[in-house]
Structure 1
C-alpha cells in the first residue's frame, strides 16, 4: 500500500486497498464518504526519528491506522479499538 500526493499536494490512499483493510467493499466505503461518516486524520512526523506520516481512517465503529515512511510506503498498520 502506498500513500501518495495528488497534483494539489493532498495525501491520498487507494480506496480499493482501504476497503480491504476494513473487510468491506469499495462501494460501501464510498457510500460512507457520501454520508459524511468516513473520517480521516493525518499526523505528520515532525521530529528526526519520525519523518513519515500516520493516517487514521474511521468508518463507523471501526478504525484503521497506517504509518507511512517519507516515500509513501506503508511501514506499519493496525486496527484500532471501537470508539466509546
Structure 2
C-alpha cells in the first residue's frame, strides 16, 4: 500500500485498498463516511519515528492502523482489537 500527497500536502488513501483491510467494499466505506461512522486520524512520528506517520482508520467497531515512511510507503500495519 502506498499513500500519495495531494496539492495541500494531505495524504490520500486508496479506498479500494482500504476496503480490503476491512473486508468491505469502497462504496460501503464511503457510505460509512457519510454516516459519520468511518473516521481517520493521522499522527506525525517523533524521536526515533521522526519522518514516519501513523494512520488510524476506525469503521464502527473495527480499526486499522498503518505506519508509513516519509515517502508514503506502508512499513507496518495491524488491525486493532475491538
Task: Tell me the TM-score normalised to structure 1 length.
Answer: 0.92
Once the two structures are superposed, what CA deviation does each residue of 1:48-84 show, in whole Å capped at 9, x if it has no partner?
x2121010000000000000011110000000011xx
User: What's 2:42 paired with?
Assistant: 42
User: What's 2:54 paired with?
Assistant: 54
SS at match of 1:17: helix
Q: Distance in 2 between matches of 1:18 and 1:32?
A: 13
Task: Compute the displacement of 1:46 (Å).
Answer: 2.3
User: What's 2:80 paired with?
Assistant: 80
User: What's 2:70 paired with?
Assistant: 70
Residue segments in structure 2 that go unaligned for 5+ positions in a row: none
Residue segments in structure 1 that go unaligned for 5+ positions in a row: none
Compute the RMSD of aligned alpha carbons: 0.8
Task: Tell me the TM-score normalised to structure 2 length.
Answer: 0.94
Larger helix fraction of residues? 2
User: What's 1:33 paired with?
Assistant: 33
